[in-house]
Structure 1
């Protein structure tokens, strides 16, 4: 199935032509049939000579209903321009063509209607010349009469050739169904219709509403007048929703694959049309079936920043129309360059941003996005429409390779700087380093670690910073000199203080392996453990605490925590009667 939108001036026979091709009435409302003009969107379909099916979105031609026309054309990949032979090219013909050009529509054909009322050649020649100057280029043209049926077989053949040349949609693309109608059916509940441009819908799928993010479930699907369990793009589809009331939905909303779109009210775009500097402060942005007021801030000659009145689910590369409703004027087409642009708070930021945007073409580029953003979550890029094809550096974080190397070098420098500023601390806390490197996640700090850096108890240190500060090293040397021949005698707290070994200095010495801490203010030289095992191994086994204290020539203050340390290390074993035995004595 393929979908084609009609376009053209009011009362040029668009609906009559669709009716003649399909045998269906595209005008849905009694008011439309009474007035003989399309006010809202109409839908009809027919089989083509090849066996395929084409569905028409019949749009209104009156200038007052251009927003409705844009809602119908926005999601559709091809257009059939209709010009009446007896009137020729008209103002709404031009505005509809300008809208198609702004949207970048490049597939279409020309139908010159009322060929039974006037020679179609002049209208055909003028219309083809106007169309050739747009994104549609040279298009096939057919003269027809919806009344007599003349030219209809040729038009069907031309439609067959047109849809055969349309790009095939990606079946695994995320769903973004722009809603062009929302209504209630008794016994079924809320139903929305739209043009499915990519992906597929299945009964039971969970989607989310673009406007609120709330989840909804597909209760049923209809396509070409029949119920379906599954509908693949491109297709006109009606979706019966469970879990949402009719008043929560309206034209311009969208049904989305959860987690695959970035809802934004701030975007940077490239403008093809009026000069950016000449734009009024406020315009209307038409994208999909949505029409949203947008405040305009020119950045470069053809780049602008738009602040939308409400967020929309947009992707990099999306095409849209900027229109001035007061002047009934299409200001131009826009290509979305960035859906998560940086703030422009600093002096000169707008000029710098314009230079960046001048290099962008609206095609998603992973390497380029990483260069500009430096660090970004993979999920955020996916929701912007950027395919992710590289592994994250930590969690779901992606990094520009050059920036990641620079961060690693800065991390080493920051660890060393912290060690100089805080010589008695056991390394730099991870959160301190995260702030100094301006990183959004502590996992990134841990991912940057490489020898000689290492993580220990939430702090980062390096072999180069394990050396003791000079005052602490001198104090440890004096302990070694005083107690070297009495390895199991621990200096009293007063003596430690006299030597300059307070709690922080002791902690630094213990971390550096220069002292062994048994308990608060109970420290020995580091070789005391092995020496104690050798001494205790020479005692009759098992031995008591008193025997151990005497053999080690120490006090209970030292012997109790020392034996407990030996128990924990498995060098000794405590027996039920509180005696101990050496498990494995080191060689003498």
Structure 2
């Protein structure tokens, strides 16, 4: 799974676009739906044609909710910047771009919406000019109409290409989950959610919250329970022995050892024209009032109350709360800096930070890939070339090249055999794969899988493009998918399903795989049918009758009634009386 945030001015169609892509309403509050205004973070997901799952964090666009927007952008690696064709670049378009620039997010898409209302070319040209000197310069652009569906498939293709460009995940790293929601489920207890950037969480793990250690009762991702979830992912964590009001947005859930900082030294990027001494700093999903002390022109010392788990390479956004404006980004160079307690110490520290800034990015790359650290090489003695020559390097291990290649081939064969015998769940659990190979450390599995041409996803390893199938019933399901591609609202009869080997169990499995939508009583359509139906229903005079909907969709009463009820339940249509409905705009 990959996670992408939206960004853009209020009422430019971010939530409508997410709804068209996923079929999920991202606005969670009744007030948001009534006002047509996103107030808090929304969440939705879909599966692309490549088989990759993508989750969206939908952020509010109104200036009053800028802190919520930053909480959504903070932990994600990529962004979908939305600009409406009929309005063009606006105030919060720039505000959100400033935040993206401050966070150093360089992976993204520019999406021009509402092309059914205006020519998208002027808005596209205007946005391209604004992006020219930012990390998103040159990013792919797509024009769409979420209401008519024009351009949505092209956007799905662009999302597939964007995902392919993202850095490789690090499922074996320690966990730092910035919490964005905390709530209670009756009978289950407290649940927290967030974007898992690195590492793996497992049911039964002991994890650290501020001031305490608690256990994981259950894990959920994209609406499904999992025994473990690996980064990158949206995850919901059901915690033991903690009340919902004891955990808030901005708290962290941790595994492993973390240094908690109240003071950090940072490089400013971009360097602002001015920087007041008192600002708000945003990192992850939290925000803190901070004191800023400049160290030369490019560096600063930032301090606050209540320590945070930070490390070199973390990015902060510095914002003026009075002007509601992003002033600068900041990259942490030192999360445990020395005191500045003597004359000239600030000037000397600025010179030290100048040197540290040149080595930050390579150091982060070393850690991300799991190669041997500089400190380890010093312990072994000799230069890096002398120590690593002719030896495979992974994590804190130096491994003979032939042994490494043998492991890679054995992993490929084990993954293929597992997929052949488990068509419904063809991805091999990482723990099983490490056990089969007899690896000395499961952390070696991630780089080994990469070298073997395999991919890791949610605690499993598989060949790229692997997707679950129904085994013997797969040909029947493929036949139904072909029929529905030609006639999307002509659901097969129950007898036809039986003849194709699709009984209740097989249909339930196909639904769980996201390949069919069950409207009840074994009336099945493609998962895209609701969105396709909305395009046609939106073109009808409003309100419309059931008969008019049936004719517009070229289907039967057996199908149209449960389909309309499904659209009502999603909030896409509204039933006015016994015979009339209207599209909710």
Where does residue 332 of structure 1 map in the other structure? Answer: 328
Work out the CA distance in 2 between the residues paired with 1:275 and 1:42: 31
CA contact (8 A) 1:179 1:192 kept: yes
Where does residue 42 of structure 2 map in the other structure? Answer: 42
Q: CA deviation at 1:326?
A: 0.9
CA contact (8 A) 2:271 2:297 kept: no
Where does residue 176 of structure 2 map in the other structure? Answer: 176
Work out the CA distance in 2 between the residues paired with 1:350 and 1:246: 43
Work out the CA distance in 2 between the residues paired with 1:234 and 1:226: 16
Determine helix, strand or coil for the equivalent of 2:56. Answer: strand
**Pairing of 1:131-210 with structure 2 (within 5 A):** 131-209=131-209
- Change in 2 beyond 3 A, CA 1:272/1:365: closer
Where does residue 524 of structure 1 map in the other structure? Answer: none
Determine helix, strand or coil for the equivalent of 1:173. Answer: coil
Q: CA RMSD in A?
A: 2.1
Where does residue 76 of structure 1 map in the other structure? Answer: 76
Alignment equivalent of 2:230, drawn from 209, 229, 232: 232
- Change in 2 beyond 3 A, CA 1:391/1:33: same
**Pairing of 1:322-471 with structure 2 (within 5 A):** 322-361=318-357, 363=359, 390-391=378-379
Where does residue 23 of structure 2 map in the other structure? Answer: 23
Where does residue 316 of structure 1 map in the other structure? Answer: 312
Contiguous gaps of at least 5 residues in structure 1: 368-381, 394-588
Q: Deviations over 1:49-90 (max 9, x none)?
A: 111111100000001111101101110000000000000000
Determine helix, strand or coil for the equivalent of 2:356. Answer: coil
Work out the CA distance in 1 between the residues paired with 2:342 and 2:43: 50
CA contact (8 A) 2:272 2:328 kept: no
Q: Is 1:284 equivalent to 2:284 in the alignment?
A: no
CA contact (8 A) 1:194 1:238 kept: yes
Determine helix, strand or coil for the equivalent of 1:273. Answer: coil
Q: Deviations over 1:217-275 (max 9, x none)?
A: 1110000101110111110000001132212210111101132x111010100112344
Alignment equivalent of 2:293, drawn from 258, 275, 297: 297
Determine helix, strand or coil for the equivalent of 2:70. Answer: helix
Where does residue 5 of structure 1 map in the other structure? Answer: 5
Alignment equivalent of 1:263, drawn from 248, 251, 260: 260
Q: CA deviation at 1:189?
A: 0.8
Work out the CA distance in 2 between the residues paired with 1:244 and 1:34: 33
Q: CA deviation at 1:388?
A: 5.1
CA contact (8 A) 1:366 1:388 kept: no
TM-score, normalization by structure 2? 0.62
- Change in 2 beyond 3 A, CA 1:344/1:39: same
**Pairing of 1:512-551 with structure 2 (within 5 A):** none
Determine helix, strand or coil for the equivalent of 1:304. Answer: strand
CA contact (8 A) 1:364 1:386 kept: no
Work out the CA distance in 2 between the residues paired with 1:241 and 1:356: 43
Work out the CA distance in 2 between the residues paired with 1:366 and 1:347: 32
Tell me the matched-pair count.
374
Greater shift after overlay, 212-221 or 332-341? 212-221
Work out the CA distance in 2 between the residues paired with 1:362 and 1:188: 48
Where does residue 242 of structure 2 map in the other structure? Answer: 244
TM-score, normalization by structure 1? 0.61
CA contact (8 A) 1:283 1:293 kept: yes
- Change in 2 beyond 3 A, CA 1:263/1:362: farther
CA contact (8 A) 2:317 2:326 kept: yes
Determine helix, strand or coil for the equivalent of 2:269. Answer: strand
Work out the CA distance in 2 between the residues paired with 1:17 and 1:388: 48
CA contact (8 A) 1:364 1:387 kept: no
CA contact (8 A) 2:98 2:326 kept: yes
CA contact (8 A) 1:70 1:289 kept: yes
Determine helix, strand or coil for the equivalent of 1:180. Answer: strand
Q: CA deviation at 1:386?
A: 8.9
- Change in 2 beyond 3 A, CA 1:331/1:362: farther
The higher-RCO structure (CA 8 Å, 6+ apart) is 2
CA contact (8 A) 1:181 1:193 kept: yes
Q: CA deviation at 1:310?
A: 2.1
**Pairing of 1:475-490 with structure 2 (within 5 A):** none
Determine helix, strand or coil for the equivalent of 1:179. Answer: strand
Determine helix, strand or coil for the equivalent of 1:170. Answer: coil
Determine helix, strand or coil for the equivalent of 1:355. Answer: helix
